Amino acid sequence: MLKTLFFFMTCLFTLNISAQGKLEISHLTGDFYIYTTYVDYEGTPFPSNSMYAVTPDGVVMFDTPWDTLQVVPLLDSIKARHGRDVIMCIATHFHDDRTAGFDILKRLGIRTYSTLQTYELCKVTNRPLAEFILSGDTVFNIGGVEFETFFPGAGHAPDNIVIWLPASQILYGGCFIKSTDAGGLGNLSHADTKSWETAVEKVMGRYPDAMYIIPGHEGWADRGSLKYTYELLKEANGMKKEKNYKEKQFEDK
């Protein structure tokens, strides 16, 4: 019942910025908002969730829009809605749905951050680079809003981090966390499913009181997405283990 109420309250606060529906801003709780952009994937618009926090000192973005055409409309919409400018953005890993807008943000004087590992992966793969580098897990306090970055280990990508906002018990997971709407683990081109399973265990143990859990794609209203991700990984790793066992049995014959 509470989950259903949360979903419908979220829908009430959803704002379609463009006629094509390529950018949506939804109120999460307090001064925190989810924004979603879309790209065509195999002929179908596919959503990417990111987040921002409104503080007295300015707005902090977690990840950039996937669709770079929506970066400036997003900034303009934030300014119109909250009367504040975006002052910084942190990427949670190196893929385009997290870093594509970095160059635009830098040109506009907005501080961009990533871990050193993300920076190096962006450099190798010719993606936009952050201006500032996080040397490790970092605690920020921007305008009285505290949040921390945490690297739990390789998962969806070698460099994926999560962001925890303790006052509101928000866990922003990016692509490290799969939505309960997802039919599987999705893009595994840079994934390490064995490490990912262990990393999810670390996150569940570190943030057991999370009230809001935000995945990188698809629906985010269901708070069971972290547990769902763990179940997907256990299943995938179990199947992989069984396959490896059968292949070894065949080789031994």
Of 49, 63, 67, 97, which residue is the catalytic one?
97
What domains does the chain contain, in order, with CATH numbers?
2-252 (3.60.15.10)
Q: Which of 49, 67, 95, 159 is catalytic?
A: 95
> Does the annotation count 49 as an active-site position?
no
User: Residues 49, 63, 67, 156: which is the catalytic one?
Assistant: 156
Catalytic site residue from 16, 137, 141, 187:
187
* Long-range contacts from 6-11, C-beta under 8 angstroms, 24+ separation: 6/221, 7/221, 10/221
- Residue 234 pairs with which residues in a beta bridge? none
Please indicate whether residue 156 is annotated as part of the active site. yes
Q: From first to last of its 253 residues, what are the pLDDT tens digits of the chain?
A: 333 333 333 333 333 433 344 899 999 999 999 999 998 877 889 999 999 999 999 999 999 999 899 999 999 999 999 999 999 999 999 999 999 999 999 999 999 999 999 999 999 999 999 999 999 999 999 999 999 999 999 999 999 999 999 999 999 999 999 999 999 998 899 999 999 999 999 999 999 999 999 999 999 999 999 999 999 999 999 876 544 433 433 344 4
Active site residue 97: yes
**Residue 42 pLDDT:** 79
Give the per-residue pLDDT at 246. 37
d(CA 46, CA 237): 26
User: What's phi and psi for 229, nearest 5 deg?
Assistant: -60, -45
Annotation marks residue 82 as catalytic: no
**Buried-state track 97-127, b at ≥16 Cβ within 10 A, e below 16:** bbbbbbbbbbeeebbbbbbebbbbbbeeeeb
Q: Quick check: is 187 catalytic?
A: yes
Q: Which of 93, 159, 160, 217 is catalytic?
A: 93
What pTM was estimated for this model as a whole? 0.86
